[in-house]
Amino acid sequence: MIKETAELLKTENKVILVHGNGDMDAVGSAFALSVCFPKGDIFAPGGVDRVAGMAAEKLGIPILEECDIGGYDLVVVVDTSSPEQLKPGAAEIPLGSVVIDHHKPTGKWEGMHFLCDETKVSCCEIIKELAECSGSGIPREAALALLGGMLTDSGHFQYANPGMMRSFADLLQKSGIHMDEVFNLTRSQMTVSERIAVMKAVGRVKFDRVGDMIVSISYGGSFESSSCRALMMIGADVAFVGSQRDEEFRISARATQEAVRRGIHLGNILGGISGETDTDGGGHGGAAGLSGIGDVEAMLHMCMMKTMEVFREIRGDRQDDII
C-alpha cells in the first residue's frame, strides 16, 4: 500500500488538504509531501492552529486559505479522519483522491485511495515512509516539519511508542537536525488571550469521579486544547473543553498517559458519541475531538457520562463513588 500510494503521489499539479484548525502534524505532513514529491499546493480550508501557523511562518510554508480543488489533477488529504473536517471550505472531495491518515477509520472515505495506519502516533511517520519509499530523499526543512509533527502529536513524547521514537531518531540522525531546533520550531509563549481563556475554563470546571479517576468538563471561548492541558495539570485524568459558535460546537479532549494505560481511549468515546448524535468525532487514546451542530453544554455532559461508564468498566463495578 505504501509503494502504490507513493506512485500516485508522483502526479504533478496536486493540492494537499489539511483538516480544519490544522495542527503541526497535518501541516508538517502536507509540507513534506509538497517538497518530497512533484510540487503540490497546501490548502487549509479551516485555517491552522497557532503552533502550526507559527511553524509555517518560520519555515516559509505557503498555505492557501482559498482554493478551487477542481483545477488540480490530484487531491490529497492528510491527517483527516472524515470529510466533515474539511467543510465548508472544501465541501466535495473527488472520488479517487488520496487520503493518508493515522486515526481510527470512520468508514467515511469510501471511493478514495485510503492509506491509514492507526498504529502510528502521527501522520508524519507515514509521510516519512512514503518519501523514503519514493527514493526522493527528505530535504532538511521538510525533515524538521515532520519532526515537529511527531513531537506535538505525541504530546512532546508523552504518548510516543517505540515505533515513533525509532522513526524520530532515524530522521533526526539522517537530517543532521538538533533537538533544540525541533523544540524551537513549535515553542512559543502563551499570549494574553490564551492565558485568559485557560483561566476562564479552569473557573468554569465541573468534575466527577469513580474511585481515583477524575473526569472534568469546562466551557470556553477558545484555546480548548490548552485549557484541557491546564485541567490535567490541576488533577484531572480526563478533560473535555468545548466552545460554541452560533449553532456549531467544538470539543477538545485530553487524557493522561496513565489513564490511557488503564483503558481510556478518547477516540472511541468521542467516536461513539459521534455515531449517536450525527456529529463528527474521533481521535487517539489520549487526544481526540468532537464537532458539529448542537449545544456544547449538552455534549460536554454526554462526554462526562460516557467517560464515567468507561471508568466503571475499568474499575469493575457499576456503583458511583460518593465524593
pLDDT of residue 84: 86
The mean pLDDT value for 143-159 works out to 94
How many angstroms separate the Cα of 96 from the Cα of each of 76, 112, 126? 10, 4, 19
The number of distinct structural domains making up the chain is 2
* Rounded CA separation 182/175 (Å): 12
User: Do 89 and 210 reside in the same domain of the chain?
Assistant: no
Question: Which residues of 20-139 form beta strands (DSSP E)?
Answer: 40-43, 74-78, 98-101, 113-116
Phi, then psi, of 183 in degrees rounded to 5: -65, -40
User: Do 31 and 126 reside in the same domain of the chain?
Assistant: yes
User: Do 167 and 119 reside in the same domain of the chain?
Assistant: yes
The mean pLDDT value for 302-322 works out to 80
Residue 321 counted as domain residue: no
User: Do 174 and 200 reside in the same domain of the chain?
Assistant: no
pLDDT of residue 239: 97
pLDDT of residue 12: 87
CATH number at residue 208: 3.10.310.40
pLDDT of residue 24: 96
DSSP one-letter code for 37? S
CB 258 within 8 A of CB 236: no
User: Do 111 and 206 reside in the same domain of the chain?
Assistant: no
Q: What is the pLDDT of residues 76-98, one digit of tens each?
A: 999 998 888 887 777 689 899 99
pLDDT of residue 317: 52
User: Do 22 and 168 reside in the same domain of the chain?
Assistant: yes
CATH number at residue 145: 3.90.1640.10
Strand-pair category, 98-101 with 74-78: parallel
User: Do 7 and 147 reside in the same domain of the chain?
Assistant: yes
At residue 322 the predicted structure's pLDDT band, cuts being 50, 70 and 90, is very low
Q: What is the pLDDT of residues 106-129, one digit of tens each?
A: 888 999 999 999 999 999 999 999
How many angstroms separate the Cα of 236 from the Cα of each of 81, 206, 260? 27, 10, 13
Residue 181 counted as domain residue: yes
* Rounded CA separation 143/67 (Å): 26
Q: Is 321 exposed, middle or buried (0-12, 13-18, 19+ CB in 10 A)?
A: middle
User: Do 213 and 161 reside in the same domain of the chain?
Assistant: no
* Rounded CA separation 165/240 (Å): 28
User: Do 152 and 66 reside in the same domain of the chain?
Assistant: yes
At residue 188 the predicted structure's pLDDT band, cuts being 50, 70 and 90, is confident
User: Do 142 and 67 reside in the same domain of the chain?
Assistant: yes
Structural domain span for residue 250: 194-315
Q: For the whole model, what pTM was predicted?
A: 0.74
Residue 99 counted as domain residue: yes
Give whichever of 129-133, 187-191, 221-225 has the largest mean pLDDT: 129-133
**166, 186, 206 - which closes a domain:** 186
**132, 163, 186 - which closes a domain:** 186
